């Protein structure tokens, strides 16, 4: 007697891919290949248009989050990834920087695994490392800085709805501090560090980078004291992601107080966007 076996649907695989800091040629080779092969790509708001040119055959779905703007709720993104895995073979969730740093990757991984869907993380270059490379100053320095902390004041909406304090957590104790998504609280961050005085003072160097690694990259170079006085408030460009780096390792007397722009060599990047779907790194 021949049994009729019900055929279970084959689920696709989801890849959480780090897009890197911005420039299309700073994505990893594995990440670029997956974009090339993807059937559908769910991408963050901060992903550059040049990056999306790498996935010419994929359905592109924006699911980004921007401060102060209408954004996709995380539970809704999770559901869309699960639904997509039932329709497509290769699903890419393209995240700015590295998925595992302030990217809410854990929530997506748990949701996908709970639904029995295979998931793989492809790391990317986080903005702090690209910013240090751009200004030619290490976040660590022998005899000066032996510790680095990556910090964000951003919280989930369900937390901030009932939160009244602007800065709900203590600043970490590290020689070099890098603040992600801290533009609106920049002056308050600086004043709190000065008040804490361990080890930062009003003379501690500050480097603020916007749109790291892209043609729009900008640098503001000064001190904690100047930042606390709001000197950078009018400099910020609200449409660009900003990174605030604080610490003695960032001292560089050759930089101007404010450098409005940096010239980015896009020659290499352009050379990587080859025709006929072929790309090399």
- CATH 3.40.1010.10 segments of the chain: 13-125
Residue 7 pLDDT exceeds 80? no
Residue 147 pLDDT exceeds 60? yes
Span 239-259, mean pLDDT?
Answer: 76
Percent of the chain with pLDDT over 70: 78
Residue 193 pLDDT exceeds 90? yes
Walk across the sheet containing 40-43 and list its strands: 59-62, 40-43, 90-95, 13-18, 119-122
- Kindly indicate the confidence band of residue 199, based on its pLDDT and cuts at 50, 70 and 90: confident
- CATH 3.30.950.10 segments of the chain: 128-259
Report the CATH architecture of 13-125: 3-Layer(aba) Sandwich (3.40)
* Domain 128-259: top CATH class: alpha beta
The answer to whether 44 is a known catalytic residue is yes
Choice among 25, 44, 98, 175 that is catalytic: 44
Residue 220 pLDDT exceeds 70? yes
Choice among 65, 95, 98, 231 that is catalytic: 65
Strands (E), 112-217: 119-122, 148-152, 176-180, 205-210
Asked whether the bond before 73 is cis by omega within 30 degrees of 0, the reply is: no
Helix (H) or strand (E) holding 83: helix 74-85
């Amino acid at each position: 007697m021949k049994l009729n076996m019900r055929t279970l649907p084959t689920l696709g695989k989801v890849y959480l891919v780090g897009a890197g800091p911005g420039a299309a040629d700073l994505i990893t080779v594995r990440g670029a290949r997956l974009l090339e092969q993807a059937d559908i790509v769910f991408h963050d708001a901060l992903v550059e248009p040049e990056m999306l040119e790498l996935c010419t055959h994929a359905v592109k779905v924006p699911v980004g989050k921007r401060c102060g703007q209408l954004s996709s709720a995380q539970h809704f993104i999770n559901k869309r990834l699960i639904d997509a895995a039932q329709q497509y073979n290769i699903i890419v969730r393209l995240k700015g920087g590295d998925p595992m740093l302030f990217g809410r990757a854990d929530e997506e991984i748990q949701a996908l695994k709970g639904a029995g869907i295979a998931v793989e993380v492809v790391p990317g270059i986080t903005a702090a490392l690209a910013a240090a490379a751009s200004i030619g100053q290490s976040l660590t320095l022998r005899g000066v800085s032996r510790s680095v902390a990556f910090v964000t004041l951003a919280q989930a909406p369900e937390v901030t709805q009932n939160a009244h304090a602007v800065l709900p957590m203590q600043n970490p104790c590290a020689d070099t501090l890098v603040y992600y998504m801290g533009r609106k609280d920049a002056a308050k961050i600086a004043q709190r560090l000065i008040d804490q005085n361990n080890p930062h003072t009003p003379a501690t160097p500050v480097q603020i980078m916007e749109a790291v690694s892209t043609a729009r990259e900008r640098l503001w170079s000064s001190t904690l004291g100047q930042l606390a006085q709001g000197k950078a408030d009018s400099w910020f460009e609200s449409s660009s992601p900003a990174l605030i780096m604080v610490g003695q390792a960032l001292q560089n007397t050759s930089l101007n107080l404010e450098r409005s722009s940096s010239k980015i060599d896009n020659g290499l990047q352009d050379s990587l966007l080859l025709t006929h779907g072929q790309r090399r790194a």
